[in-house]
Amino acid sequence: MKRVTATLLIGSAPLPVRAFAKGNEPTKHFTANGFGEGVAVVQHPAGEFHLGKTYVSYQGPLEDPYVAVYDHKSGKWDGPYQAGVSQLGKGPEFADKIDSHGKPTMLIDDAGYIHIFYGGHGGSKTNGLKNTLGGAHAGDNRHAVSKRPLDISEWEDLDNISPFGTYNQAIKMDNGDIYLFYRHGAHRSNWVYQKSTDNGRTFAAPVSFLKRKRRTDIEATDSWYPFLAKGRGDEIICSFDYHVCRDAWPGRGHQGERHNLYYLTFNTTDGSWRNVKGEELPMPLDRETADAKALVFQNDEVWTFNQSATLDKNGLPHIGIAMGFDTGVRHGGPKAMRHFRWTGKQWTGGVNRGLPVARGDLYARDQNKVRFLLAWNDPDGDVRVGKISWWESEDGGATFALGKTLLERRGKAFATSAFIRNAHPDARVIVAESAPRGSKMRPMYLVGDNGPIGGVPEVMGG
């Protein structure tokens, strides 16, 4: 699909960012120019540990993508460098609005080149192209690659993915093949993947796997929000919830109403999609088939929001998802994290056993030992305390207890990425702190088991 834009080459100097807190003492954030959400679980991975260094990406000023790298041996940072120019965040349309749907996703190919996918919220209605798999909204999905292996200082856009994309999720298989998953347009669009067998230099045409379809019983269209991750061998796992994209909610307009939870696996060798029992399902999947064959949890009263999925050492899936009841506010109000697991015979879990209202990712060592790394707010009187903490279960998710807190800031709140790919224990997630009063810029942290690492020098890259 040919995009009506010019290829862009970026060779920016590292962005000078002073990182001193009140009292002029050095802080532990690696930059102070995060913008909007900065990072989120859904666009993943946002970073990767490779050959002793952790590479991170995030949304910076004007919603453009930025990349930095931390050397674990020397304790030094390089960057952040601007790695592309997003169509989002600029012009009159975004004068008083932060979009944040184009946050970057990162992947390092087998040749060592660093890739980011960024900048789309369904594609622009003015790019001169027609989206045959859904609608359009804003921004064009873009793909940038480093000019040299493992060098973040210069970047080049490649015109090889559909501009009609958002919520990028990138997976590299053991043989080096790259799969890029995203929603092909605005809400009422199919979810697709594009495959590359040459280190991301070319991608095959989009292939749909979740289908949008107009409902006949209510004034709404079926839509979806999946989370995809590498499974065992040539398999990719997929958890997803259902978005009832109503024409309008009386008195509230459009709402992010989501329900239920589903699970699929994708065999990248033969191209088949199967449910947890191994039954092959027709693609692209529609709501009726998903309800009949792929259901983990169903409740039309409970609202859901985002999820993540992983396999334990026995290859059995675990899913974390935020759930709550509609409170009459946008997106249905607060939602506590829930845990589901497949026992080999049935899905269990879903009852809130101690987990907070939160966002984050999960790790399952086995059926019993499950850990979430969550961004949550712990109230201290009238002041919230933003925290990044482990929440741990030793009984398969029947109960969870608060474990070690890795980062906390009084009067602040945090957004977190999903786990960094191949994460070093000292650098598991990228975290965005709420902006100081009077500013739109967020401090950004690289957080691991010993807290935030790598206090920055006065000027990064200097």
Pairs from 266-275 (Cβ < 8 Å, separation ≥ 24) = 266/209, 266/228, 266/235, 266/236, 266/237, 266/238, 267/234, 267/235, 268/173, 268/177, 268/179, 268/234, 268/235, 268/236, 269/234, 273/209
Among 165, 52, 39, 54, CA closest to 103: 39
Q: Is there a catalytic annotation at residue 167? A: yes
Structure-token match 């070690």, residue found: 404
Q: Distance between CA 282 and CA 322 in Å, rounded?
A: 28
To the nearest 10°, report the CA torsion of 8, 40, 76, 406. Answer: 180
Q: Is 170:106 a contact under the CB 8 Å cutoff?
A: yes
Report CA-CA distances (Å) from 459 to 24, 76, 80. 14, 12, 10
Active-site residue among 167, 179, 263, 445?
167
Active-site residue among 29, 44, 101, 184?
101
Structure-token match 């490779």, residue found: 50
Report CA-CA distances (Å) from 384 to 28, 329, 373, 381. 20, 20, 19, 8
Vertex 359 angle, CA 259 and 371, to 5°: 105
- The residues annotated as belonging to the active site are 101, 167
